[in-house]
A = this chain, B = another copy of it.
Amino acid sequence: MTTQALPLPAIADIFDAAARIAPHAHATPVLTSHALDAEAGASLHFKAEQLQRIGAFKFRGACNAVFSLDAAQAARGVVTHSSGNHGAALSLAAKLRGIPCHVVVPDGAVAAKLAAIEHYGAILHRCAPTIAAREASCAQVQADTGGSIVHPYTDPRVIAGQGTAALELLTAQPDLDALVVPLGGGGLAAGTALAMRALAPQCRLFLAEPIGAADGARSFARGALDLDMVPDTVCDGLRGTLGAINFDLLRAADAQVLTVDDARTIAAMRLLWTRTKQLVEPSSAIALAAVLAHPGHFAGRRVGIVLSGGNVDLDALPTLLARAA
């Protein structure tokens, strides 16, 4: 998708986003668990975005982008590619504004996810499962409709929207020592970084990334984007590559990547299910897994963790749960 010619987001954009999405998004609760605190040797504060609309934080960014459009832009609708939560989020946001939404999806995407996207009213456009086909298809749909492209994580409006989760968390718990969020494309991570620098500069930002999709860790180690990878992880929300402006915002916040293997992520997911009765997905549980795997950073500290979503494919559960053994 064409990069948006929009300025870098700043903290004021997160405040604007919070006001813009307030009529539509849930202010999710912050959950605690004595059992998990004991497990981690730290005081954990979980921002429960599995309870957000569409079951993931992605609704925040999509909603902010859709409601940022002026009337003329809005009338032409929005366009994106995503076979996951961003597609569902943009579809619902567009429905709430009453405008068209076009989602380019690759052949072979999980049927249940496509059904969720269509459920909210988006028009699906199928393409071959390659980046070239996806870009071409997006460009074609944009040319045909004049719609606005909303990239899943490099769009500044999306980043500002995702930052509202950390804004709410830090408003409820201003004295956190550390924040831990999953790292995929970096939309949530960059939004969190912006909110944290403004509201809790004492806080350290940690990014939990799957070992099987560690372009972020390699990019930080090298000091420049290093995106060459073939993702191999159960964290289906974290297989994208880090965006350029996301990387810049994360470096400015002195963020640190912690890589986690899938077995630890699934074990952390089981722990969250058992102890909190919250159905979170692997791409969320990786943040707790990072805390448990790297106690040196967190012991005795007050730690905020963004549980990013709860869209688990129940039919794939048996295979998934077996990964922790």
A51 interface residue (CB < 8 Å to B): yes
A278 interface residue (CB < 8 Å to B): yes
How long is the Cα–Cα vector from A310 to B33 in the complex, in angstroms? Answer: 15
Q: Which residue of B lies closest to A279 (CB)?
A: B277
List chain B residues, Cβ under 8 A from A72.
none
A50 interface residue (CB < 8 Å to B): yes
List chain B residues, Cβ under 8 A from A51.
277
A128 to B: closest C-beta gap in Å = 30
Contact A314 B321 (CB under 8 A): yes
How long is the Cα–Cα vector from A140 to B36 in the complex, in angstroms? Answer: 38
The interface residues of chain A, by DSSP majority, are classed as: helix
Q: 1/0 per residue A299-325: CB within 8 Å of B?
A: 000000000001010110110010000
A130 interface residue (CB < 8 Å to B): no
Residue from B273, B278, B314, B321 in contact with A274 in the complex, judged by beta carbons closer than 8 Å: B314
Residue from B50, B278, B318 in contact with A318 in the complex, judged by beta carbons closer than 8 Å: B318
Given contact pairs A314-B321, A317-B318, A321-B317, A273 touches B277 in the complex (Cβ within 8 A): no
* With A273-B314, A279-B279 already in contact, 15 other A-B pairs whose C-beta atoms are closer than 8 Å: A50-B277, A51-B277, A55-B277, A270-B314, A274-B314, A277-B279, A277-B310, A278-B278, A314-B321, A315-B321, A317-B317, A317-B318, A317-B321, A318-B318, A318-B321
How long is the Cα–Cα vector from A321 to B320 in the complex, in angstroms? Answer: 14
How long is the Cα–Cα vector from A279 to B310 in the complex, in angstroms? Answer: 11
* Tally of contact residues, A, Cβ under 8 A: 17
Q: Which residues of chain A in 128-164 are interfacial with respect to chain B, using CB atoms and an 8 Å cutoff?
A: none
A residues with a Cβ closer than 8 A to B are: 50-51, 55, 270, 273-274, 277-280, 310, 312, 314-315, 317-318, 321
A277 to B: closest C-beta gap in Å = 4
Give 3 nearest A-B pairs by CB, closest first: A318-B318, A277-B310, A50-B277
How long is the Cα–Cα vector from A312 to B315 in the complex, in angstroms? Answer: 17
A-B contact pairs, 16 of them (CB 8 A): A50-B277, A270-B314, A273-B279, A273-B312, A274-B314, A277-B278, A277-B279, A277-B280, A278-B278, A278-B279, A279-B279, A314-B321, A315-B321, A317-B321, A318-B318, A318-B321
List chain B residues, Cβ under 8 A from A280.
277
List chain B residues, Cβ under 8 A from A317.
317-318, 321
List chain B residues, Cβ under 8 A from A55.
277
List chain B residues, Cβ under 8 A from A318.
317-318, 321
Q: Which residue of B lies closest to A281 (CB)?
A: B277
A268 to B: closest C-beta gap in Å = 13
List chain B residues, Cβ under 8 A from A278.
277-279
> Among the interface residues A277, A278, A317, which one has the most CB atoms of the partner chain B within 10 A?
A277
How long is the Cα–Cα vector from A61 to B121 in the complex, in angstroms? Answer: 47
List chain B residues, Cβ under 8 A from A274.
314
A57 to B: closest C-beta gap in Å = 13
List chain B residues, Cβ under 8 A from A310.
277
> Among the interface residues A51, A270, A278, which one has the most CB atoms of the partner chain B within 10 A?
A278
List chain B residues, Cβ under 8 A from A50.
277
